[in-house]
Amino acid sequence: MKIQPPRGTRDFLPEEMNRRRKAFDSIRNVFELYGYGEVCTPAFEDFKLLSKKSGPDIEKEIYTFKDKNGRKLGLRFDPTVPICRIVASNLSLAKPIKFYYITNMWRYDRPSVARWREFWQCGAELIGSDRADADAEVLSLVFKSLNAIGIKNFCFKINSRKIVNGILQLFDIKKPLWPDYMRILDKLDKIGAKAVFKEFEKLGLKKEQYISAENILRNSISIEELKKYIIGVYKNKNKNPEENDAMGGFSELERIIKLAKLFGVRNIEFDASIVRGIDYYTGFVFETFVKGYENFGSVASGGRYNDLIKIYSGRETPATGFGIGIDRLMEILKDEEYSPVKIFVAPVNEETRREAIIIVQILRKNNIKADTDLIGKKLGKQMKYVNAMNIPYTIIMGTKELGRGEVLLRDMKTGKEKRIKNEKIVDVAKSL
């Protein structure tokens, strides 16, 4: 009987873990270059903490359980909330606080292309600055991280919750409904327009309200065109356009875009449809799409959340940040040929096995990845194993070579061989 892992989860064997580790290391180097320090939070948190600012439907979307004392807990699905807990409990930390994470998380979601119930994410939070400089650095971190792992052809689509609020104001959608409206609209690509419109109707919205707002949010329009439209509506009503929330959002985004370019960020597009369904966002929001892989959805998303830490601490603490979906990136990145070691030392018989072990240990002491036969295979089967594992070089330890104080080095790709004196093995291995 073949036992499968739970639905929506996977096993990662050495070849895949090698790819992931390389990506993790590259991203970690970028984060630390910018002065961010790594944090790790518990896999589960108090459910009240997780649900406080994530909306009433969150319990349907995450794994929850009760411990033996009846406490309701949930598996983490977003490290931003646990990090806010850390900061809320340590308000004396020097600002700005720069934290990053690389970890696995869980969501009770329907598995689909590059979407899993257990998934990996990395990201960073910049806490303590309300300036556009901080948001620009967030975009720069994502830009540099994706470049570092070999993804070049992508674009940022940015917006502001203030602009979305301003659009909802235009059509007299009441403020208490704004979070629900955005959470529902964010589902459009998943459940389709018909299902989204039904949910809008359950909120008590009139068709002309949600259709008019949705038309503006979902259609391509520049910042300048949208600003001009809102100003026109307000002037026709003899009202001051500055009363509309969107005006502040326009100013913020223009500063962020200007500063992000100073940070070296490219390919930024304004997109009024980017709303981010999570309740805690308060301003700048963004999503990142790789050209040719748009069906995967956003590979990196985030934005500003100035009110979240206040919920837990009672103190105003501005913050901005993002998360990068590792699993989606792994689907996009090209596979590399994997080899567990650089050199395999193959003893021809039992007489040369002791010398083979000695050579392997010498190579390992010099930080050269090496292995040898531990099963007692004949030379032919050892060569088959080397080829199956894509090991590029083999040192053949024969009886003649043993008597001469030398080994036979074979390049497994070309088949070329050369004899090397034992004292030269390390130098030659390092030069390969």
pLDDT greater at residue 217 or residue 120: 120
Give me the pLDDT at residue 54, please.
Answer: 67
For the segment 255-281, the average pLDDT, to the nearest whole number, is 92
What separation in angstroms does the CA of 268 have from each of 260, 286, 288?
9, 10, 9
For the segment 204-210, the average pLDDT, to the nearest whole number, is 82
Spatial distance between the Cα atoms of 404 and 398, rounded to a whole number of angstroms: 10
Spatial distance between the Cα atoms of 220 and 309, rounded to a whole number of angstroms: 34
Classify residue 33 by burial, with Cβ atoms within 10 Å: 0-12, 13-18, 19+. Answer: exposed
Instruction: Give the mean pLDDT of the chain.
Output: 92
- Which of 171, 277, 183 is closest to 229 using CA atoms? 171
Q: Tell me, what amino acid is at 83?
A: I
User: What whole-number percentage of the chain has pLDDT above 70?
Assistant: 99
User: What whole-number percentage of the chain has pLDDT above 90?
Assistant: 75
Look at residue 19 and tell me whether its pLDDT is greater than 80: yes
Q: Tell me, what amino acid is at 17?
A: M
β-sheet with 44-46: strand ranges across: 44-46, 72-75, 64-66
DSSP code, position 5? P
For the segment 321-331, the average pLDDT, to the nearest whole number, is 96
Give me the pLDDT at residue 175, please.
Answer: 87
Task: Work out the angle at residue 173's Cα, subtended by the Cα atoms of residues 167 and 174, and round it to the nearest 5 degrees.
Answer: 120
CB-based contacts of 271, cutoff 8 Å, min separation 6: 157, 158, 159, 220
Spatial distance between the Cα atoms of 297 and 286, rounded to a whole number of angstroms: 12
- Which of 411, 405, 400, 403 is closest to 425 using CA atoms? 405
For the segment 342-368, the average pLDDT, to the nearest whole number, is 96
The model's confidence at residue 56, banded by pLDDT at 50, 70 and 90, is: low
Look at residue 419 and tell me whether its pLDDT is greater than 80: yes
Contact between residue 294 and residue 284 where contact means Cβ atoms under 8 Å apart: no
Helix residue ranges, H only, 149-305 = 161-170, 178-185, 188-202, 207-218, 223-236, 246-262
Lowest mean pLDDT among 58-67, 197-206, 316-325, 336-345: 197-206
The model's confidence at residue 206, banded by pLDDT at 50, 70 and 90, is: confident
DSSP code, position 115? B
Q: Tell me, what amino acid is at 227?
A: K
For the segment 300-315, the average pLDDT, to the nearest whole number, is 94
For the segment 265-271, the average pLDDT, to the nearest whole number, is 95
β-sheet with 118-127: strand ranges across: 37-38, 97-106, 118-127, 319-325, 300-304, 284-290, 154-160, 268-270
Cβ atoms within 10 A of the Cβ of 252, count? Answer: 17
Lowest mean pLDDT among 63-67, 134-138, 187-191: 187-191
Q: How many helices (DSSP H) and strands (DSSP E) are in the chain?
A: 17, 16
Give me the pLDDT at residue 58, please.
Answer: 83
pTM comes to: 0.90
pLDDT digits (tens, 9 = 90+) for 135-151: 999 999 999 999 999 99
Spatial distance between the Cα atoms of 378 and 357, rounded to a whole number of angstroms: 16
pLDDT digits (tens, 9 = 90+) for 374-411: 999 999 999 999 999 999 999 999 999 999 999 999 99
Look at residue 364 and tell me whether its pLDDT is greater than 70: yes
DSSP code, position 112? B
For the segment 120-146, the average pLDDT, to the nearest whole number, is 98
Cβ atoms within 10 A of the Cβ of 118, count? Answer: 17
Backbone angles phi, psi at 300, to 5 degrees: -155, 130
Look at residue 219 and tell me whether its pLDDT is greater than 80: no
SS3 content of the chain, % helix, strand, coil (to 5): 45, 20, 35
The model's confidence at residue 171, banded by pLDDT at 50, 70 and 90, is: confident
Look at residue 99 and tell me whether its pLDDT is greater than 80: yes
| Ordered structural domains, the chain, with CATH | 14-332 (3.30.930.10), 343-431 (3.40.50.800)
